A and B are shown apart, each in its own frame.
Chain A
Amino acid sequence: MIKKQILLIPFVVFIIILLSFFYLLIIERNPSELPSNLLNKTTPKFETNKIYDDSTFISSKEFGNEIVLVNFFATWCKPCKKEHKYIKLFSEKDKIRVIGINYKDKKNKTIQWLADLGNPYSDVLIDNTGEIGIDWGVYGIPETYVVNEKGIIKYKQIGQITKKSYKKIISIIEKINNEK
Chain B
Amino acid sequence: MKNKNTTIIKCFLIFSVIIFYHLIPVKLYSIEPSEILKNEKQETRAREISKKIRCMVCQNQSIDDSNAPLAKDLRILIRKKIKDGLKDEEIYNFLTDRYGDFILLKPAFKLSTLALWLLPLIFFLIGFIVIIRHNKKSKLL
Contacts and interface: CB of A to CB of B under 8 A. Distances in A.
In the complex they form, do A and B come into direct contact, defined as C-beta atoms under 8 angstroms apart? yes
Interface of A: 34-38, 44, 104, 129-131, 133-137, 139-140
Contacts, number: 36
B73 A38 contact: no
Interface in B63-85: 69-70, 73-74, 77
Nearest to A39: B100
Interface residues of B, number: 13
Interface string B95-119: 0111110100000000000000000
Given A34-B56, A34-B102, A140-B57, A134 B74 contact: yes
A134 B73 contact: yes
A34 B97 CA distance: 14
A136 B57 CA distance: 16
A59 to B, nearest CB: 15
Interface of B: 56-57, 69-70, 73-74, 77, 96-100, 102
A73 B115 CA distance: 41
Contacts of A44: 98
A139 B100 contact: no
Contact of B77 (A35, A36, A131, A137): A131
B99 A139 contact: yes
Contacts of B73: 129-131, 133-134
Nearest to B102: A34
B68 to A, nearest CB: 9
Contact of B99 (A129, A130, A137, A140): A137
B57 A37 contact: no
A44 B77 CA distance: 17
B135 to A, nearest CB: 15
Contact of B57 (A104, A133, A135, A139): A139
A37 B74 CA distance: 17
